[in-house]
Amino acid sequence: MSLSDRPILIKKVKKVIGGGHHGGAWKVAYADFVTAMMAFFLLMWLINTTDPEQKRGIAEYFAPASVSQTTSGSGGILGGTSLGEDGAKGSGSQSVLTELSPEAPPDAPQEVGQSQNLAAASEEALREEIARREAAEFASAAESLRQAMQSMPELAELSKQLIIDQTPEGLRIQLVDQEGRSMFEQNSARPNARAQLLLRAISRVINQLPNRISVTGHTSAAPGSNRATGPNDWSLSAERANASRLVLQGAGVDADRVYQVSGKAGSDPLYPDDPTLAGNRRIAIVLLREAPVLPTDTSLLPTPPHPDAGAPHGGRMRLPTPPARVQIIAWNDGCPTLGGIGCGPDAVTFVPQRQLRFYITSVAPCPYLPGQTERKVFANLPFSEGAHVNDELTQAGFRRSQNIAYRPACEACDACVSVRLPVPEFSFSRSQRKVLSRNADLSRDLVEAEATTEQFDLLRRYLHGRHPGGGMSGMGWLDYVAMVEDTAVRTHLIEYRLPSPDGGPGDLVGVCLTDLLSDGLSMVYSFFDPGMESRSLGRFAILDHIRQAALVALPFVYLGYWVRGSRKMDYKAAFRPMEQLTRLGWTRMAEPVPNTCD
């Protein structure tokens, strides 16, 4: 057979991947199964051989105790570098005080379109501006602390014991215990080495910020106890907080910046579901939102009186850089009173000197002088010492609206002049005595600063009758409540009523929102029945405040701003003698001078 005649045979070879039943792929799956079984049996062994305290320690080790609760950012010990939604804000913010101009005179001629909103709209805008600036400051603080922690390798293992978050009070930094890694020895108030290391690291950031701080100590419940707080926990938590304060001060934190040191024992657990967890034992340090009492920019306040100026009452002014402590007058209800309000100095206390944060608005149209522009400087009054700060700022030419203190800061105009009436030297003129006589039948009631619908109805009639289309014409009930009640200063409402034939309360015809200062009464806002023009109720309210101040030996009645060249403010010039605030302090006002803004 020749080669060409041979049949062609094709052999098919089947290649087995992995060697068939002898391959190794199954070994990987089997190894995973054996590992999982070993982990399972190990877990069962741990469950049966460890006590509850050891179980909590293991669980806490794997818990994310240092998760930051901020709303933005990423990575690092803080879990983020920004504590606010907005982040840092740029320049060029819009004017937020356009509607916060001095109030129009009670009896001034009506002008359409005037801006005089002293209520919630302006307050809300100011608070938003302050909140944005605080968010930027806290973001910077968080970034500084993050960088400080990252630059210290010895703190890497302690990062799980540091919790940083933002609360309504401010930026909170918590040093928490872990099982086997406490900040203090058991039942001891002495910080151990790791606690002191963390506190010194935190102090470096605190020293870069102006905020005051509070330090709070917390304890945990004893295992097996039905009580969250033991018999000695209150004193122990307070002592630990104070010991932490001493470490911070030893690291350079100014003692005057410490606002509060307190112990809460186990009353505020970090883990409410299990008060016995070690993480409930902690030290909380809060950089308070409340601004620390005077501006750093000395141009915002008048200069002290010149020794030769001859100011009639010494020209008392607050200096931008006073001594380390400020003298504050306390009030005593045992002296002659104005409707139950203390009116005379009884004791002197001292409070730490702090510094308010002042902000300035952008340029906006002036509501009093056509063709002119205005700017204002403002600050948020602190709730803790609002009354004292309001005293100082009012005497320095500021006005109050709710918890905002403001004053003009125009660069090329000084037409707005803060004025007050010296009560001991005031003598009623013939026309003023007639105004008092026409209203002699009115009753006067000093009531708490609580809004009523009767007052609000009178305000609506006043705004519609005297200032239609003005900044406050759209004020609602809640706006009025905020204007009256949202404050921490000494303030009251004074109601004027017509006589009633049945002996009950008569019709309400006038209301004044008045602050009580250490040296006088400040008329914040007043409104009255617009249908009673013959009574001159606006002028009567001022004259009656002069009488009230004289009865309780208060030397001044503050009227706010008189604006040269504005018909709205001409009524104030009729009250003489009058004092004006100048760079030489409070001086006697002469006859009206030309408007320097023309």
At 580, the amino acid letter reads Q
Query: In this predicted structure, what is the pLDDT of residue 507?
Result: 94
Structure tokens belonging to residue 482: 């905020």
Name the most confidently modeled range: 44-53, 94-103, 194-203: 194-203
The residue among 558 and 388 whose pLDDT is bigger is 558
Residue 357 vs residues 137, 208, 225: alpha-carbon distances, Å:
12, 16, 47
Three-class DSSP category at 418: strand
Examine residue 424 and say whether the peptide bond preceding it is cis (omega within 30 degrees of 0).
no
Largest CA distance in the chain: 154
Three-class DSSP category at 513: strand
Structure tokens belonging to residue 247: 């470490």
Average pLDDT over residues 239-258: 91
CA separation for the pair 36, 339 (Å, rounded): 80
DSSP-derived letter for residue 135 is H
The residue among 164 and 6 whose pLDDT is bigger is 164
Average pLDDT over residues 319-332: 28
The residue among 13 and 400 whose pLDDT is bigger is 400
CA separation for the pair 598, 596 (Å, rounded): 6
CA separation for the pair 270, 267 (Å, rounded): 10
Query: In this predicted structure, what is the pLDDT of residue 239?
Result: 93
Domains of the chain as residue ranges with CATH: 65-94+133-288 (3.30.1330.60), 120-130+294-588 (3.40.630.30)
Mind listing the pLDDT tens digit for each residue in 98-110?
233 334 444 444 4
Nearest to 280 by CA among 157, 163, 156, 146: 163
Are 391 and 293 in contact by the 8 Å Cβ rule? The answer is no
560's CB contacts (< 8 A; 6+ apart) are 102, 103, 399, 418, 419, 522, 523
Query: In this predicted structure, what is the pLDDT of residue 248?
Result: 93
Count CB atoms within 10 A of the CB of residue 486. 15
Q: Is the pLDDT of residue 149 over 90?
A: no
Helix, strand, coil percent values for the chain (each to nearest 5): 35, 20, 45
The residue among 219 and 294 whose pLDDT is bigger is 219
pLDDT bucket at 513, cuts 50 / 70 / 90: very high
Query: In this predicted structure, what is the pLDDT of residue 17?
Result: 56
Alpha-helical runs (H) found in 221-334: 233-250
Residue 376 vs residues 349, 484, 495: alpha-carbon distances, Å:
32, 22, 31
The residue among 504 and 426 whose pLDDT is bigger is 426
Query: In this predicted structure, what is the pLDDT of residue 156?
Result: 66
Cα-Cα end-to-end distance for the chain: 131
Query: In this predicted structure, what is the pLDDT of residue 414?
Result: 87
Are 142 and 45 in contact by the 8 Å Cβ rule? The answer is no
The residue among 63 and 138 whose pLDDT is bigger is 138
Are 348 and 327 in contact by the 8 Å Cβ rule? The answer is yes
Are 598 and 325 in contact by the 8 Å Cβ rule? The answer is no
134's CB contacts (< 8 A; 6+ apart) are 84, 289
Alpha-helical runs (H) found in 409-506: 430-438, 453-466, 477-485
Name the most confidently modeled range: 46-50, 331-335, 363-367: 363-367
Are 210 and 259 in contact by the 8 Å Cβ rule? The answer is no
Q: Is the pLDDT of residue 229 over 50?
A: yes
Average pLDDT over residues 398-421: 89
What backbone torsions phi and psi does residue 558 show, to the nearest 5 degrees?
Answer: -90, 125
Structure tokens belonging to residue 453: 């619908």
Residue position matching structure tokens 């002296």: 335
Average pLDDT over residues 410-414: 85
Query: In this predicted structure, what is the pLDDT of residue 168?
Result: 79
DSSP secondary structure letters along 59-95: HHHHS-TT----SB--STTTS-SB-SSS-S--S-PPP
358's CB contacts (< 8 A; 6+ apart) are 295, 297, 300, 377, 378, 379
Query: In this predicted structure, what is the pLDDT of residue 554?
Result: 94
The residue among 598 and 481 whose pLDDT is bigger is 481
Three-class DSSP category at 129: helix
pLDDT bucket at 382, cuts 50 / 70 / 90: confident
Q: Let me know if 412 is exposed, middle or buried by CB neighbors in 10 A (0-12, 13-18, 19+).
A: exposed
Query: In this predicted structure, what is the pLDDT of residue 136?
Result: 74
Mind listing the pLDDT tens digit for each residue in 518-544?
999 999 999 999 999 999 999 999 999
CA separation for the pair 237, 555 (Å, rounded): 48
